[in-house]
Amino acid sequence: MRLSTTVRHLLVGVLVLLVGIVPFGMSQAQGSTLTLWSMGGDQTGWVKWLETIAGNFEKNNPGAKVKISFYDKNALRVALQTALRARKGPDIIYFEPDQRDLVEAGYMKPLDDLVPWDKIQPWAREAWTSNGHTWGIPYSFYTNEIMYNKKLMAELDVKLPSNGQVSQAEFLELLKKAKAAGMEPMVIGTGDRPFPGAYLTFEMLLRKLGPEDYRKLLDGQLSYDDPRVVAVLQYAKEIIDLGALPKVFATMSLTDSYQYFFNRRGLMFPQGTWYTQRAFKSPDKGGQPVGFEIGIMNWPAMDDGACNNCRTLALSGGYGINADTKHTDLAVAFLKEMATPEMGALWTSLNHSPSGALYDPSKVTSAYADYFGELKTVRSGSQYFVGIPLNFLTGQCRETFIQVINKGFPAGLIGVDDTIRQMNEACFGR
């Protein structure tokens, strides 16, 4: 049967509409590849977690694919700066709250109404908000603690209180005993990181000043000439002059510092609780030696400290969306797959650190129940200050912090007076 010209035209029109309508709803997915750049490629649990999310995303978005590229942390920062400056780069970006330059340059897309914030740790949104917008969702969070070798502590015949906190005098005496016994009293490596050297001063400053004045110090509203700040720096200088830090402190990478702690009779190891992501891997992948007994202690209670039960709580980092992505809907769908209770529990199980997504603790499996029990005891009664200094410092103040507080002062290259002068010039009254 021959169709009339009019009918044929009507059918063609319908087909055109169908062709136009069907792909329009699926065009974001069909044949699209979502790109993601992240650190963590050397951490099996992190890789498996991202691959699981990608698998769920591809299942729920037929035709879409995810390409994940892993970088070393510093290499990732360089690669992002180069790519984003050219208005390119991945659709989804791993970055950290202190990378304000990415936000200020307009490289990141606000996530205000795009992701389910009711499925994220309740304090995390505020921690990642600046300029009136929220820029990332966290994969994990941590507190800053001092890990210690239990066998070496027993060798020194020292028994810590249940909260892991001793006085200033007792803490200094413990370091002296460790030094005399041929141990490395405190292992810190700052060769490839802008912060670890600051554990020595800023954790004690938080306890000495209390959260309100500590925030004033970070905001440039409190002078480093303040007698309380001076007292903490002078106490830290006693630790430095004792030789409590490794001679290779300024050049040792974060990765190498783990092996130094495990294998060089290191007594104390200041770290965020993301320590577990590396240390609880198998020894052949850089984890703790078999039989290594890890304990958790607190920074010392400062003399006349305003908040000796304070401790730092911070976001490890997380994921945001490139402002220039051509796949906004898919990028949002991926982040929604990330922010589920199931993926929160999976992260915690795989990496032995708490997820940035809300999750049911009963769904978490771990062979390190003793560690988490001790961590809970040490944290008991804590008042938390949210954010590390790098989340607050900017410009020349930030650069001076990295060079002076992170490296020069703890390395013994400059003294207390010079540290105060340089930090005041860069930060106070800005």
The answer to whether residues 421 and 409 touch, using CB atoms and an 8 Å cutoff, is no
pLDDT number for residue 395: 93
The second-level CATH assignment, the architecture, of 142-313+373-427 is 3-Layer(aba) Sandwich (3.40)
Q: Is 309 exposed, middle or buried (0-12, 13-18, 19+ CB in 10 A)?
A: middle
Tell me what percent of the chain is helix, strand and coil, each rounded to the nearest 5: 45, 15, 35
Confirm if 179 and 242 have CB atoms less than 8 A apart: yes
Strand (E) or helix (H) holding 417: helix 416-427
User: Do residues 140 and 354 make contact, with C-beta atoms less than 8 angstroms apart?
Assistant: yes
Buried b (16+ CB within 10 A) or exposed e, 78-98: ebbbebbeeeebbbbbbbbbb
Determine the pLDDT at residue 25: 38
Answer yes or no: are the C-beta atoms of 38 and 50 closer than 8 Å.
yes
Provide the pLDDT for residue 29: 59
Q: Please give the DSSP secondary-structure letter assigned to residue 401.
A: I
Domains 32-140+316-365 and 142-313+373-427 share a fold: yes
Whether 285 and 46 have beta carbons less than 8 Å apart is answered as no
CATH homologous superfamily of 32-140+316-365 equals Periplasmic binding protein-like II (3.40.190.10)
pTM: 0.83
Q: Are 322 and 89 in contact (CB under 8 A)?
A: yes
- The size of the chain, in residues, is 430
CA distance 37 to 27: 23
Q: Where are the domains of the chain?
A: 32-140+316-365, 142-313+373-427
What confidence score (pLDDT) does residue 30 get? 57
Q: Which stretches of the chain score pLDDT less than 70?
A: 1-31, 430
